[in-house]
């Protein structure tokens, strides 16, 4: 028999839930000067409900967001629930609302520029896992080579990863928030960055095995750079990925900030913004709703018992959304259409063969419609000056 009500509660919830609840539970005990949590179980349902509601109100008064206050309130209710006391019905007042979220629409061009602004192959891949793979920033930090599902993945157009219910990071913490078994995928342009990162490690004589981390840093103690062969090297962290996104967004001019009620500076563009972007691109591409949620690691109805998506379905969905998930300034279909229109226009112009050939090369080499229009303007300007 477990006598400690907190231990009884802790044993019945997931590690990820406890990580959040423990922060608010400690604050709850501190606010109410409670030294023995067992005494709380002697309260009436009405008094316990009032205590939880007052905790929510105090968090709001101290400057916590509604979302944070709701997490604290839920933590207290959870303690009572797992110790046999069902509190009064939770009203809508206590539902959490995200107050400090991104208010700008991230475009495909923004994502392309964001990845371009990140320096090395490893970091480009890690950030891409968030924006065009739909993953929480903690997931790529805990992936190992054994989690790559696709055979001959270096040459595959779509690369699939297996995510087990328990995916432990370097600290032994489960980063699979929903604790569900799922798969996600990346396109070959992102896989190329992964391949180059691994080739760099092999070139520096690291012996790669299925248990090797997918993304490793060469820094220890925050500043000492050592060989990839050194076992002290750990994988990158979620905070590292988030900082990459925040600073890259500043560099390309799409970042903005707001201040929370507690005086903290909150960036609008961060790693978790990538999940919103990814989900929107799949929706616009017409990918099935449940499959979208499956790829993002969301818990499906009935624990997903009736929604097991095959690798073939995942590949088909990624190909369906390829034009929107590729790391290009815009959907390639739109760019190709603009190029074809420009090529047709060259046939109307009365240009010498040499000039026509040069113009056609300019059109075909353009990487975006903006670049195409700028090149055409420069060409036309040069022709007028002749």
Cα separation, 370 vs 373, in Å, equals 5
CA distances from 181 to 260, 288, 300, 302, 308 (A): 35, 19, 11, 13, 10
H helices of 218-288, in order, are 238-251, 273-284
Backbone angles phi, psi at 143, to 5 degrees: -75, 145
pLDDT above 70 for 234: yes
What pLDDT is attached to residue 385? Answer: 47
DSSP state of 157: S
pLDDT above 70 for 304: no
Q: CA angle, corner 331, sides to 329 and 337, nearest 5?
A: 110
What's the mean pLDDT in 309-326? 95
- Per CATH, the homologous superfamily of domain 100-328 is Intergrase catalytic core (1.10.443.10)
pLDDT above 70 for 360: yes
Question: Of 238-247, 271-280, 305-314, which range is least confident?
Answer: 305-314
Specify whether the CB–CB gap between 87 and 77 falls below 8 A.
yes
What's the mean pLDDT in 22-46? 92
Q: Top-level CATH class of 5-94?
A: mainly alpha
What's the mean pLDDT in 44-48? 93
pLDDT above 80 for 335: no
Question: Of 95-99, 134-138, 294-298, which range is least confident?
Answer: 95-99
- At 227, the pLDDT band (50, 70, 90 cuts) reads low
- Residue matched to tokens 């996600």: 184
63 backbone φψ class: left, alpha, beta (φ>0; ψ -120 to 50): left
Cα separation, 381 vs 386, in Å, equals 9
Cα separation, 358 vs 379, in Å, equals 9
What's the mean pLDDT in 249-265? 79
pLDDT above 60 for 41: yes
Q: CA angle, corner 237, sides to 263 and 144, nearest 5?
A: 155
pLDDT above 70 for 226: no
pLDDT above 70 for 359: yes
What pLDDT is attached to residue 301? Answer: 72
pLDDT above 90 for 386: no
Mean pLDDT of the chain: 86
Question: Of 43-52, 70-79, 88-97, 182-191, which range is least confident?
Answer: 88-97
pLDDT above 70 for 256: yes
What pLDDT is attached to residue 121? Answer: 93
């Amino acid at each position: 028999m477990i006598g400690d009500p907190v231990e009884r509660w802790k044993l019945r919830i997931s590690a990820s839930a406890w990580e959040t609840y423990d922060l608010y539970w400690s604050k709850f005990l501190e606010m109410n000067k409670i030294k023995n949590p067992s005494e709380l179980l002697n309260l009436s349902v009405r008094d316990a409900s009032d205590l939880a509601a007052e905790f929510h109100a105090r968090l709001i008064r101290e400057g916590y967001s509604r979302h944070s206050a709701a997490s604290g309130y839920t933590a207290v209710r959870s303690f009572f629930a797992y110790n046999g006391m069902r509190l009064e019905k939770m009203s809508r007042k206590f539902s959490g609302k995200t107050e400090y979220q991104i208010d700008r629409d991230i475009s495909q061009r923004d994502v392309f520029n964001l990845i371009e602004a990140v320096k090395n192959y490893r970091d480009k891949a890690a950030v891409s896992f968030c924006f065009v793979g739909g993953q929480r920033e903690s997931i790529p930090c805990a992936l190992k080579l054994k989690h790559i599902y696709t055979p001959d993945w270096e040459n595959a157009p779509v690369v699939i990863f297996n995510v087990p219910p328990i995916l432990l990071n370097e600290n032994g913490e489960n980063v699979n928030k929903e604790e569900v078994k799922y798969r996600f995928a990346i396109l070959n342009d992102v896989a190329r960055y992964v391949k180059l990162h691994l080739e760099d490690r092999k070139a520096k004589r690291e012996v790669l095995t299925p248990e090797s981390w997918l993304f490793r840093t060469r820094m220890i103690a925050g500043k000492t750079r050592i060989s990839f062969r050194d076992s002290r090297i750990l994988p990158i962290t979620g905070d590292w990925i988030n900082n990459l996104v925040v600073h890259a967004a500043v560099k390309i001019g799409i970042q903005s900030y707001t201040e929370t009620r507690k005086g903290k500076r909150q960036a609008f563009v961060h790693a978790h913004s990538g999940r919103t972007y990814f989900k929107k691109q799949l929706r616009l591409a017409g990918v099935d709703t449940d499959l979208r949620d499956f790829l993002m690691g969301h818990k499906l109805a009935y624990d997903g018992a009736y929604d097991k998506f095959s690798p073939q379905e995942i590949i088909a969905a990624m190909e369906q959304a390829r034009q929107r998930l590729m790391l290009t300034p815009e959907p390639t279909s739109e760019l190709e259409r603009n190029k074809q229109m420009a090529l047709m226009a060259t046939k109307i112009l009365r240009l010498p063969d040499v000039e026509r050939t040069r113009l056609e090369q300019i059109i075909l080499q353009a990487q975006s419609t903006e670049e195409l229009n700028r090149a055409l303007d420069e060409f036309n300007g040069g022709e007028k000056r002749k």
